[in-house]
Amino acid sequence: MSTVTEMYGSLVFNDRVMRERLPKDVYKAVRKTIQNGSHLELNVANSVAAAMKEWAIEHGATHFTHWFQPMTGLTAEKHDGFLSPEPDGSVIMEFSGKELVKGEPDASSFPSGGLRATFEARGYTAWDPSSPAFIKDGSLYIPTAFCAYTGEALDKKTPLLRSMEALNREAVKMMQILGYPDVNRVLATIGSEQEYFLIDKDLYKKRKDLLLTGRTLLGAPASKGQEMEDHYFGVLKPKVSAYMHDLEEELWKLGVPVKTKHNEVAPSQHELAPVFETANIAVDHNQLTMEVMKKVADKHNFACLLHEKPFEGVNGSGKHNNWSLQTNTGINLLDPGKHPAQNIRFLVFLLATIAAVDDYADLLRLSVATAGNDHRLGGNEAPPAIVSVFIGDELTEVLKSIEEGTAFHEAGKTYMEMGASVLADITKDTTDRNRTSPFAFTGNKFEFRMPGSSASVATANIVLNTAVAEELKKMSEKLEGKTVGEMEAAVRGLLKEMIIEHNRILFGGDGYTEEWVQEAAKRGLDNLKSLPDVMPRWISDKCIELFTGHGIFTKVEIFSRYEILLENYSKAVHIESLTMQEMVRKDFVSGLIAYMKALSEEAALKKQLLPDAACAMESKVIGALDEASCKLVTLLDRLDQDTREAESIPDALETAKFYEANVLKDMAELRAVVDEAEALIPEGYLPYPTYGEMLFSLR
Ligand code: ADP
Ligand code: MG
């Protein structure tokens, strides 16, 4: 194909296509729905459906599908043909407004956390006109929300849209109070940077653990790791570069604004970042990105690993969630402007966000908790499980001046001294970056770094949007009714109170150190290390009040999600345990025995030839492997028993806790023995590739 501008969005039923193809009044009605979330009449839907069908067929589509995001964290789709048979034996292509607006997938096999007994298997999908339809693999994809027969949300999009509405309501109200009468819509914006690994597909296929669980459950470290720091931003290898190029083209056609690509810290790890978009579109696009990444990888004979911790001892992958708020008048509410200390509007939204993170840190932690991400959070390269906020030196000073009621002196522009006159002068940022903070202010947005690479970012943004909406609501209540003359002093008074109250969440030091763990405990901040640790918070009164108060989740929906998250966790660890047992019993042990046999035979032959030969090396290795095999027998039995016991526990939380405290611990001990022995066994004896082969083989 052609230039980027021609390619971009060529498979998307976007605003430009709608303007061209829809009757004027229909176009206006759809725009109104998209912009204000207003209801869409059936005759409008019929007209849109007709135009969509024509356009889709012209672009080679034969089917349509309602595309939704059930609680599996993946996307789901069921395809229907446009075709409709005629009495004379021919077919016509049909697609009605009703089919566009509502779908009825047989949804009994999606996780519902007990919401939907099987006799109420009906689920509905409802068109989300705010996220554009697109064509992929010969089908027209219609983004939809997914709910039960009884109306409860069964997906991640419905609550995300509800949270955006709540935030819009409270942010608009605050803007009215602050004297911005033109602001009638505020939307959350998100840019999610996506990290991933690429490894050779043939090697991938030989690893049952990667195939079935997404991460390696065994594997001694390679002799080279990431200590040389030679991969980050390094030159892209030709094969990887070709992959990235293809990936970009595929995503551009789908209207996903990917912009940045580079190598990441770990060997074979890379990152891709899009330009930010409205929250629900960004979430849809991130789901699409993950899917296309895997598909394109396959074509290039790669496997794309999205797991949060595919290799032990090597950096894991996350999904930095850049978040801000944008008004209909084009203001970024987290833009400090040139004079942050005077920018009341900015300070209000900054403090609302800081307060939200402090008051709901546990729910933010929960929003990123999965069996996979638990291996990453708290590792020495990932943000710790303790939630804190970094705002940088300048804003720290600004907040201090408000707290103390003193004047803030701006540092003024400083220019960097680069020592070479050919280099253009560049202004220095007023603060350095902090890469260890889980929630960092980065100039004109916050970057939440805890989300895992494989999960949907919907949940993190549902929590963030709702928590900020709640803080804004509390703030508005204190400011409402003040006259214009009183307002500035009232806001400054409120900000001061909030700074004092939420100071404890602000932290600018190194979040990876043990000192911070101690300090955070003193400050009363939570350090919730695993999903089972944090789940009880989800059904706490505080959580229920927050979400029901803003109409995000009903109590029933909260409890259903509680069950689903716990079940997903236990199932993930269960599958890992079974996979590991199988790999050790069948694959590893056969290699171990074969090598011991070869060594013994070799030593015996040597003795025949040289009766006095010491066979020191052989004896030492055989001895070590024999010791390992004794330990393996015991550890495998224990893992097997504990896994069975976990399965028999009736309560979902207790089950998950048992998996965490016992099964994962057994797996770690088993792994230690296997990995130590693996280091003694030559590569050819094991039927699966080593860390060294997987991480350093791409040329
Ligand atoms: P870095 O994290 O290295 O500072 P960038 O400045 O390129 O990188 O931004 C990273 C991500 O933040 C990009 O996806 C970008 O689109 C997104 N971003 C920038 N501005 C906003 C905003 N106002 N709201 C949400 N995301 C934003
Ligand atoms: Mg970043």
What string of DSSP letters covers 280-324? HHHHHHHHHHHHHHHHHHHHTTEEEE--S-SSTTS---BEEEEEE
Ligand found nearest the CA of 435: 2
Q: State the pLDDT at residue 226.
A: 63
CB-based contacts of 161, cutoff 8 Å, min separation 6: 128, 130, 145, 280
- What one-letter code names the amino acid at 275? V
Lowest mean pLDDT segment, chosen from 231-240, 287-296, 353-362, 442-451: 231-240
In a domain, 560, yes or no: no
In a domain, 500, yes or no: yes
Ligand found nearest the CA of 443: 1
Instruction: Fill in the DSSP letter of residue 382.
Output: S
| Structure token digits, residue 673 | 């023995």
| Ligand 1 binding pocket includes 259 (Cβ within 6 Å) | no
The domain boundary, picked from 553, 588, 621, lies at 553
Q: Based on the domain organization, do 294 and 389 belong to the same domain?
A: no
Chain segment 174-225, per-residue pLDDT in tens: 999 999 999 999 999 999 999 999 999 999 999 999 999 999 999 998 876 6
| Ligand 1 binding pocket includes 379 (Cβ within 6 Å) | no
d(CA 193, ligand 2 centre) in Å: 7
Could you give phi then psi for residue 385, rounded to 5 degrees?
A: -70, -10
Question: What does 207-229 look like in DSSP terms, one character per residue?
Answer: -HHHHHHSS-SS-PPPS--STT-
Percent of the chain with pLDDT over 70: 93
The model's confidence at residue 421, banded by pLDDT at 50, 70 and 90, is: low
Residue 387's CB is within 10 A of a number of other CB atoms, namely 27
Q: How many domains does the chain have?
A: 4
Tell the burial category of 414 from Cβ atoms under 10 Å away from its Cβ (0-12, 13-18, 19+): exposed
Q: State the pLDDT at residue 407.
A: 78
The domain boundary, picked from 505, 520, 553, lies at 553
| Ligand 1 binding pocket includes 319 (Cβ within 6 Å) | no
Lowest mean pLDDT segment, chosen from 256-260, 428-432, 624-628: 428-432
d(CA 392, ligand 2 centre) in Å: 15
In a domain, 419, yes or no: no
From first CA to last CA, the distance across the chain in angstroms is: 27
Q: Based on the domain organization, do 470 and 500 belong to the same domain?
A: yes
Global pTM value? 0.94
In a domain, 252, yes or no: yes
Domain containing residue 274: 194-213+230-317
Q: State the pLDDT at residue 113.
A: 77
Q: State the pLDDT at residue 44.
A: 92
- CATH number, domain at 150? 3.10.20.70
Q: Which of 256, 281, 445, 457 to mutate to test the pocket of ligand 1 (most atoms within 8 A of CB)?
A: 445
Quick check: 558 pLDDT over 80?
Answer: yes
Quick check: 650 pLDDT over 50?
Answer: yes
Place of tokens 């987290």: 334
Q: State the pLDDT at residue 291.
A: 96
Ligand 1 nearest-atom number relative to CA 276: 16
Q: Based on the domain organization, do 360 and 475 belong to the same domain?
A: yes
Q: Based on the domain organization, do 301 and 365 belong to the same domain?
A: no
Number of H helices, E strands in the chain: 25, 18
Ligand 1 nearest-atom number relative to CA 334: 23
Q: Based on the domain organization, do 343 and 451 belong to the same domain?
A: yes
CA distances from residue 464 to 352, 361, 364, 382 in whole angstroms, order as listed? 11, 10, 7, 20
Q: State the pLDDT at residue 429.
A: 59
Q: Based on the domain organization, do 505 and 363 belong to the same domain?
A: yes
| Ligand 1 binding pocket includes 273 (Cβ within 6 Å) | yes
Quick check: 56 pLDDT over 90?
Answer: yes
Q: State the pLDDT at residue 699.
A: 47
Q: Based on the domain organization, do 289 and 243 belong to the same domain?
A: yes
* Closest C-alpha among 150, 166, 168, 161 to residue 68: 161
The model's confidence at residue 378, banded by pLDDT at 50, 70 and 90, is: confident
- Pinpoint the alpha helices (H) of 147-278: 157-177, 201-205, 208-213, 238-253
Determine the Cα–Cα distance for residues 438 and 499; give it in Å rounded to an integer: 19
Residues with CB under 5 A from ligand 2 (ion): 320
In a domain, 225, yes or no: no
CA distances from residue 662 to 376, 566, 567, 638, 668 in whole angstroms, order as listed? 19, 16, 17, 10, 10
Ligand 1 nearest-atom number relative to CA 193: 14
In a domain, 386, yes or no: yes
d(CA 275, ligand 1 centre) in Å: 7
Whether 585 contacts 635, CB under 8 Å? no
Ligand found nearest the CA of 446: 1
- Mean pLDDT over each residue of the chain, to the nearest integer: 91
| Ligand 1 binding pocket includes 189 (Cβ within 6 Å) | yes
Entry field: residues in the chain: 699
Quick check: 308 pLDDT over 70?
Answer: yes
- CATH number, domain at 283? 3.30.590.10
| Ligand 1 binding pocket includes 328 (Cβ within 6 Å) | no
Ligand found nearest the CA of 191: 1
In a domain, 688, yes or no: yes
Quick check: 685 pLDDT over 60?
Answer: yes
**Strands (DSSP E) along 485-599, which ranges?**
none
Average pLDDT over residues 527-538: 96
Q: State the pLDDT at residue 2.
A: 75
- Tell me how many degrees the CA angle 649-654-658 measures, rounded to the nearest 5: 85
* Closest C-alpha among 286, 369, 349 to residue 569: 369
Determine the Cα–Cα distance for residues 658 and 164; give it in Å rounded to an integer: 37
| Ligand 1 binding pocket includes 332 (Cβ within 6 Å) | yes
Q: Based on the domain organization, do 25 and 72 belong to the same domain?
A: yes
- What one-letter code names the amino acid at 311? F
The model's confidence at residue 335, banded by pLDDT at 50, 70 and 90, is: very high
Average pLDDT over residues 428-456: 87
The domain boundary, picked from 553, 584, 611, lies at 553
Average pLDDT over residues 608-617: 92
CA distances from residue 287 to 68, 127, 333, 453 in whole angstroms, order as listed? 10, 17, 27, 11
Tell the burial category of 78 from Cβ atoms under 10 Å away from its Cβ (0-12, 13-18, 19+): middle
In a domain, 371, yes or no: yes
Q: Based on the domain organization, do 636 and 534 belong to the same domain?
A: no
Q: Based on the domain organization, do 77 and 178 belong to the same domain?
A: no
Average pLDDT over residues 577-600: 96
Chain segment 367-377, per-residue pLDDT in tens: 999 999 999 99
* Closest C-alpha among 89, 154, 141, 142 to residue 115: 154
Q: State the pLDDT at residue 225.
A: 63
Q: Is the dihedral of CA 625, 626, 627, 631 positive or negative?
A: positive
d(CA 191, ligand 2 centre) in Å: 9
| Ligand 1 binding pocket includes 322 (Cβ within 6 Å) | yes
Ligand found nearest the CA of 260: 1
Q: Based on the domain organization, do 142 and 54 belong to the same domain?
A: yes
Q: Based on the domain organization, do 201 and 296 belong to the same domain?
A: yes
Ligand 1 nearest-atom number relative to CA 275: 16
- CATH number, domain at 605? 1.20.120.1560
| Structure token digits, residue 244 | 């990235």
